[in-house]
Every structure is written in structure tokens, then in C-alpha cells.
Structure 1
């Protein structure tokens, strides 16, 4: 295993959930962490708790200029970037017949374009250095779909395709990893507006869920691999989750 100490790691979607859990563990291991999210108040609180090896950049990943600025600020502060984890995502799932097109657009903007903007912003820097690691969060919904998650699942299948193609293009120098989490305790899905989905998930409150620390531990394991080893796909489900 390679030491995490002094690695510079940029995480989007870092103000809560698995992004925040991973940031805390990385700081404890001596990494330098750049936290990115839209909610500045939460980012400020986190950085005040994490100390001098952490910084934040308020970032809306659906805006290319925001993502470009994130990468520039990270390099300006720490000199380089070892790891970028494109983790930001939303999950306002609904049935097609409900026609919540604005929510579809928002998922495409954040879940797909956010990943593309991250790759575009950091890849020239990593190629110039001749090393680096890019991760992105897909979902088990990016492996198998089901009724009610069609657009969300489509965005996560897209992430899978984007990352696999990126892996093949840069396999000689850059590590590429896609993370496929199952159900977690995360607030992802808090923005669901569909009455039908709310009714469905109201009956699933006791469904198996993972603690975010499980994903954090897996991500840290991935980025701790020796320089000549790359883990390309990580699939995690809570015990009992069948899909």
C-alpha cells in the first residue's frame, strides 16, 4: 500500500455524505484535501474542523467555469493535484409519466456534465505531470435499472461509459476508477418531489443501508494502491440489498 500522507485530493460533493466522510478520513491520514460543493456554510464549518491541510472552493459542478476555478485554486494552494474524485450528484427520481423534465435536466447537468467538466479541468495537469488519479461516483443504478429511476440510472450508466472510455485513453499514465455505491445513509434523494416515489420509498425506510464510512474506506483503499496498480471499478452494497 502507498502512503496517503501529503497526497492532494480534490473532492466534489464534499459538504456531506460519503464525500465529507472521505475528507475527514483523508485528513486523519495526512492528506491535503480540497473540498468542493455548493453549500459554503457547511464547507466553512468542515474546514474549520479539519485544519490547515484542508481548503474549500464553493463550486457548482454544472458550471464549467466553477469547476475550472476549483482546479486552479487547488493547484495554487498545494502545487499539484494527485487525485480528483468527481463525487457530486443528485437523485430526484420519478416515473416518466410524471414528466418532471426540469429535474431530468438538472440530473444531466450535475451527474454527467459535472463529471465531464472535472475531467476536462484536471486532465491536462495530470498528463503534464505524467501521473494522477481520477475517480467518479456512479451507482448500482448505473449497473442495473428499475422502474422510477430511469433518468437517474441513465446518468449513472453514462458515468460508467465516460470513465471506461477515459481509462482506455489514458491507461498508460493516469489511474481511473468508477465507484458504484448501493444504498447509504446519505441525504442523496432528499430533493425527490414525486409523490409516487415518496410513497414508494416511504415503505422502504427499513431497507438495508451502508454507513458512508464504508464508501470512504473503499475510496481510500483504491487511492492507496502502489503506483503500478489501478483498481478500475468498486461496487459496494449493504448486506441484504439485492439490486
Structure 2
């Protein structure tokens, strides 16, 4: 016999449904020295998460650790180059040695140099592939066994609007972010039901971060900077808030994708 649907459209209470309790969880955030990574680390720490801050700029990481600790949180600076699998494994081991395991992984490290293909800036192409794709694979491979062992975890991958659309000058970047989007969905399909691991692909539009600083092509650099006069960019904290939203969803809910744009972004 079918159960009646509540008039207000809400789901009947389920005593087995649990909201994620973030206090005491352990997170690893790559690309944590600035932008979205730093903002997310701060917001996670404010919720009681013990955060491993991973990036190459150890001075910035230590300053962020000091800021978190001054606010009563816990954090650990981890000098890590996501392109180097040995560095990633060592960083993950440092975090596990300090806190015991890893419950949350935020694959956020990324680069976005812009140029036309015919400019043949192949060094930039390869660096994007190394950081945006291989770096994400390295950190996922290092963390996944801990989540499998405990039959629990949540992995976040930073893709982009460029993981859904293609733009001139961003062909290689778009290719890397399409790869991130595809990998995220494949990972969710493989580890969701089998290991109780949630996977969320974050797809931001224009965000006020350091990404534009990687642009060496002056024409595109000026064009990107000019966008700031055309729309109100998202703040890094806005993306951090979406991560908290997905983390705190009931345990039977996997927010698989979050496509987040400025209200006035026309493309």
C-alpha cells in the first residue's frame, strides 16, 4: 500500500537519515594557499574540521594555519606539489600521521593560462594537463584508500564553466576541465554505492581569484581583467559556501554537481 504524500510536499521523517557532522572531521585541501582553497579551508575550520592545507607556497600556508589557530581551529601546513606523486603521498601521510585519517578531499589546485592554440605555448599546455588533471588524479589516488577502508568520505573536484562549455583561447584549459567533470562522474559511479563515498564536482563561473595571474598573453590578460567591469564576480567564499552545502546534505544525498555563476554572467 502506498504511503500518503504529505500535503506540504516534504519527505516523511526518517530516523535513519543523518546530517553530516563536520566537527572533528579531517579534510585535505589542495591549492590552499589562496583563493577558493584558502576560503574553503577557513570555513571548514570554523565548522570544527581539522584541515590539511596543501600547496607549494609554504609561507602562505603557515600564515593561514596561524589564522585558523587564532580562531580556535586546527590546521596543518603541508608543502605539496600535486604534480609529483611522491610529494602527494608524503603530504597525505603527514596529515594521516597527525589526525588519523582523511574524511574530505578537496581537489582544488589548478592553473588557467589563456592563449590561442596557434600561439603554440606548449609549455603552458603541458603544465595545465599536469596540474589540472594529473595532480587531481595523484591526490585522489593517495586519499581514496583511507576512505575505502572506513567506508566513508566525500571528494570535491574543482572543474569550471569551462568543463561544460568551450571558449576561444581556453581550448586546452577547457579540455582539462571537461576531463575533471568526466572523471568526477565516473568516480561517483564507481565508489558511491560500493564504498559510501560521495563525489561532488564544483563548476564555478567567474570568481575573483589569482587564476588570471597565470595569463601570459597580454591581449587575453587585458580581456579577462576587463570582465571585472562587466559583472560582479563571485567571491572565493561563495564557492566555499557551496562546498559546505554539499557536505552537510543528509547522508543519502550526493550533490553530484554544483554549477555556480554570477547572476549577471551572460555566458
TM-score normalized with structure 2 length: 0.88
Q: 2:152: which partner in 1?
A: 131
Q: Separation in 1 of the partners of 2:127 and 2:221?
A: 19
How far residue 179 of structure 1 moved from its aligned partner, in angstroms, is 0.3
1:198 to 198, 221, 245: 221
Q: Summarize the Cα distance change of 1:207–1:59 in structure 2 as closer, same or farther, 3 Å threshold.
A: farther
SS in 2 for 1:205: helix
* 1:159-202 deviations in Å (ceiling 9; x for gaps): 01111111111121211110001111111120111123124224
Q: Separation in 2 of the partners of 1:199 and 1:234?
A: 29
Aligned residues: 243
Q: 1:226: which partner in 2?
A: 250
1:17 to 20, 25, 35: 35
Q: Separation in 2 of the partners of 1:240 and 1:126?
A: 39
How far residue 33 of structure 1 moved from its aligned partner, in angstroms, is 0.6
Q: 1:210: which partner in 2?
A: 234
Q: How does 1:41-120 map to 2 (within 5 A)?
A: 41-51=59-69, 53-120=74-141
Deviates more, 1:148-157 or 1:206-215: 206-215
How far residue 3 of structure 1 moved from its aligned partner, in angstroms, is 2.3
SS in 2 for 1:226: coil
* Unpaired stretches in structure 2, ≥5 consecutive residues: 1-18
Q: Separation in 2 of the partners of 1:123 and 1:11?
A: 14
Matched, 1:8 2:35: no
The CA RMSD measured in Å over matched residues stands at 1.2
Q: Separation in 1 of the partners of 2:226 and 2:251?
A: 46
2:199 to 173, 176, 182: 176
Q: Separation in 1 of the partners of 2:22 and 2:114?
A: 36
Q: Separation in 2 of the partners of 1:73 and 1:225?
A: 29
Q: Separation in 2 of the partners of 1:118 and 1:97?
A: 32
SS in 2 for 1:20: helix
Q: Summarize the Cα distance change of 1:162–1:68 in structure 2 as closer, same or farther, 3 Å threshold.
A: same
Q: Separation in 1 of the partners of 2:51 and 2:226?
A: 38
Contact 2:212 2:224 in 1 (8 A): no
SS in 2 for 1:210: coil
Q: Separation in 2 of the partners of 1:102 and 1:153?
A: 16
How far residue 242 of structure 1 moved from its aligned partner, in angstroms, is 2.0
Q: Separation in 1 of the partners of 2:66 and 2:236?
A: 21
Please identify the structure whose Cα radius of gyration is greater. 2
